[in-house]
Amino acid sequence: MPGIAALRGLSERSAHLSERLRPKEIRAPSLDWLNFLVADVRGALGPYVIVYLTSQQGWSPSSVGIVMTIGGWAGLAAQTPIGAWLDTSRHKQGLLLSGLAVLSAGAVVIAVLPHFWPVLLANGMMQVVSGVFEPAIAAITAGLFARDALTRRMGRNAAWARAGNGTVAVTSGVLAWVFASQVVFFQVPVISVLAAIAVLSIPYEKIDLRRARGLGSGGEEKPAEDERPTAWFSLFRSRQLVVFGVCSFLYELADAPLLSLVGQQMGMEHRAAGTVITSAFIVAAQLGMMASSIVVGRRADMWGHRRLLAAGFAMLPVQAVLTVLTPDPYWLTAVQLFGGFGTGLFAALTPIWLADITRGTGRYNLSQGVVATLRALGVTTSALLSEIGLEQLGYSATYIGCGALGSAALALLWFGLPERQGQQRYSAATAK
């Protein structure tokens, strides 16, 4: 694609200008800000699109539902192909820059042309390119850092991303309150420019493209002459990947309603303060996720990835039970902080676990796409099932049902996923 080639050339020129800097002086700050700013760009959209279209533009719920559903399914369908593309592409920074450009254009279109067809197209494109960022950043990170440093760096990535999510929730709320909901969308191009600077400050030639797609053992060794990626369909014969994918689906199926339904319940019971309470829930969850991401980066290799994954999964049914105890907003905010910690363990460990599962296959990014598809499918399915459960059984029974699904996911993870030998080796090395 000509656009991608041009972006790659710009990235390479930036790499030459930055070559005199030591890698450690440029990698960490660039990745920190990249994760922070990309989370800002993505977080500045999402629910604000719905609020803007319904409250400011007078769209009917059915029209909003059609736009969001089509966009959601477009993004879902794109996850796995994007992962496969990232494995074969040498221009991962160019793909990030292209994604930022599309998000910026889409946000501006929604703000200035809030009509059905422009919004449908813009939202669909934004949902598709949103699937580029997490796997591309994970791939670049894997290409920059050998296995013995990867866990700490991935945990740091996740912590900065959570900080970005929390920051944009605050800034978007302030902008919408002081000015108008429309202004929220105009911050996207500004943040995208800053994110693009962070992308270009990472030297292209410092990225080991073999490690970035999961070839080799994850160390600094030279490639074997006959090193080739495995056939893509061989991934689906990997028991660990299949089990982890099913666990991910069940986790999202159980976890998603524990924020959305609680926010909905608070909106019904505290109409005047429903938005403020929901914002507090979101910020609390992000704080919990940021804290657990730091724990993953600093302690996962020492304590074991499987144990921390199991701890994160175990917190989900506990969160469901705690949610049922009382509808007090302060209590529920604390529960969201607790649940966010568990979700953060799962989210931060996912790219690390997949890197270990797929090491040597050359299909790391494809595996990320497959798992992201299953997670998105879990979120989409949960929206329907939770509303049916709410209508038939009420809030408390629906929360308990979420806890039961979380318990099933925990059991499958614990009995179906052994600790990886590579993880055991790095755990022992860290302990020494």
**Structure confidence by residue, pLDDT tens digits, 395-414:** 999 999 999 999 999 999 99
**Structure confidence by residue, pLDDT tens digits, 132-151:** 999 999 999 999 998 889 99
What is the pLDDT averaged over residues 19-48? 68
> What single DSSP character describes residue 145?
S
Write down the pLDDT at residue 43: 63
What is the pLDDT averaged over residues 32-53? 80
Rounded Cα gap, residues 330 and 333, in angstroms: 5
Write down the pLDDT at residue 41: 79
Q: How confident is the model at residue 325 (pLDDT cuts 50, 70, 90)?
A: very high
Write down the pLDDT at residue 170: 81
Q: How confident is the model at residue 44 (pLDDT cuts 50, 70, 90)?
A: low
What is the pLDDT averaged over residues 305-334? 95
Write down the pLDDT at residue 217: 59
- Tokens standing for residue 56: 């400011």
Helix, strand, coil share (%) of the chain residues, nearest 5: 85, 0, 15
Q: How confident is the model at residue 26 (pLDDT cuts 50, 70, 90)?
A: very low
Q: Which helix (H) or strand (E) segment is 39 a member of?
A: helix 23-43
Q: How confident is the model at residue 420 (pLDDT cuts 50, 70, 90)?
A: low
- Using DSSP, state whether 126 is helix, strand or coil: helix
Rounded Cα gap, residues 53 and 56, in angstroms: 6
Q: Looking at the predicted structure, is the pLDDT value of residue 66 above 80? A: yes
Write down the pLDDT at residue 9: 47
Q: Looking at the predicted structure, is the pLDDT value of residue 369 above 90? A: yes
Q: Looking at the predicted structure, is the pLDDT value of residue 264 above 50? A: yes
Rounded Cα gap, residues 58 and 367, in angstroms: 41
Q: How confident is the model at residue 69 (pLDDT cuts 50, 70, 90)?
A: confident
Q: How confident is the model at residue 351 (pLDDT cuts 50, 70, 90)?
A: very high
* Ordered domains of the chain (ranges, CATH): 2-213 (1.20.1250.20), 234-431 (1.20.1250.20)
Give the type of residue at 284.
Answer: A
Residue with more model confidence, 61 or 86: 86
Give the type of residue at 240.
Answer: Q
Q: Looking at the predicted structure, is the pLDDT value of residue 204 above 80? A: yes
The answer for residues whose C-beta is within 8 angstroms of residue 13's C-beta and 6 or more apart is: none
Q: Looking at the predicted structure, is the pLDDT value of residue 48 above 80? A: no
Phi/psi at 216 (5° precision):
80, -170
Write down the pLDDT at residue 181: 75
Q: Judge residue 406's burial from the number of C-beta atoms within 10 Å of its C-beta, 0-12 exposed, 13-18 middle, 19 or more buried.
A: buried
